[in-house]
Amino acid sequence: MVRPLLLLLSIINSSALHPAEATSPQQALTRAVDNLWSQQHDDGSWSSEQYAVLRSGQALTPFVLHALLGSTDSLSTENAEKAQLAMRFIIEHLDADGALGRSDPDILEYPVYSTAYAILAIERLRALDPSLVGIESEHVLSMRTFLLNAQFDGDDGFTTAMAAFGGWGFNIAQQPGESGHMDLAHTRRALQALRTMQSGIYALADYDLIYSYHAQQFLRVLQKQSTALAVQPLPESAETIMSSPFDGGFYFSPVVLAANKGRFDEEENQWRSYATATCDGILALLAAGVPKDDERVTAAVGWLKKYTNLDYPQGVPTDHPEPWGEAIRFYHYAARAEVYRALDFPPAERDALAAAVIKHQRTDGSFVNTVSPLMKEDEPLLATALAVVALTHCLP
């Protein structure tokens, strides 16, 4: 009986790996959402079995929950209970500073990311049904305080002459003036979470919005546009700097230079703009309060409209030894879709993006990037949540 059982399990597992039949964006979204809800643990979390840094559930839970809550205008009774269970998991893992992702002293799970998505998930749940938000409200202010304190500014020993000034990174400053890992993606999420709280019961006074002006200064460092106030650091020498040539796009980090997936263009003597960074840059500008018709936004949108390959984030070299372009497939879909929704791109472009996503769906409703583990998209929970974000923002 052992061999037949093993054969049956093999057939079941292999069927989940095969692409699903063509379907509509809404059908694909529904199947992906159902798959994610089915993966929730009894304690309310979602966690990875293959990556230690995602194993506790502190990072994946708020991200997956936010994706799920964003995919619907209402929750069934069962899913409402599951959402509240996830919220309890999140609150139980906050530390004294209001940060999520730091309950294990040996493994930090992206505290800025995790805390930002916790706020976004709570506020999305409040929008769906205020009655579902209970004790979470008591903790939102502490989470906001953590994010504000995590911004690299004068209180942390950063001056306006430093490239990291005004941005966010993996965690709070390690030492005065030392950011550790920091980049555009963390900055975007922190800004979006803070922006979500700009109205209603948590609204900040005008004089408290200095964080957004500092953030805009950081974004100028990363954007290559005509009003740039900043200069790019050259590889291997942060002391040698250069003016940023105009093309409207964004690169990723002025501090962790190896994180720039567009790499350094030796001929142009600059860090390349690339698609995912430019999408993050647009969303970060909007979250920092920059109007849609501002030159900074329109310049970045112009770059994105010029580089329209949906299946590969243009600007990332295709001949690099490490396949970074393939590794961020679903991140690219999600970030581009969020821009398309935020700036009301034509329905035809959103339909084309949805079709690009759908072709990767497996028969069990999940998604996975098997090309490369560089960005952990070979973890189905992460890839599927990114696909849910993409499909959600592609729909009318």
pLDDT level of residue 105 (50, 70, 90 thresholds): confident
**Tens-digit pLDDT profile for residues 313-368:** 999 999 988 999 999 999 999 999 999 999 999 999 999 999 999 999 999 999 99
Burial 91-105 (b: 16+ CB within 10 A, else e): bebbeeebbbbbeee
Highest mean pLDDT among 162-166, 226-230, 243-247: 162-166
Query: DSSP states of 5-18 as a string?
Result: HHHHHHHHHHHHHS
The domains of the chain are located at: 308-396
d(CA 222, CA 233): 10
Q: Is the pLDDT of residue 251 over 80?
A: yes
Q: Report the range of poorest mean pLDDT among 25-39, 107-121, 169-183, 199-213.
A: 199-213
Q: Is the pLDDT of residue 14 over 50?
A: no
Q: How far is CA 201 from CA 8, 96, 131, 196, 305, in A?
A: 55, 22, 15, 11, 38
Take residue 240 and report the two structure tokens written for it.
């040698």
d(CA 319, CA 185): 24
Take residue 368 and report the two structure tokens written for it.
């996975």
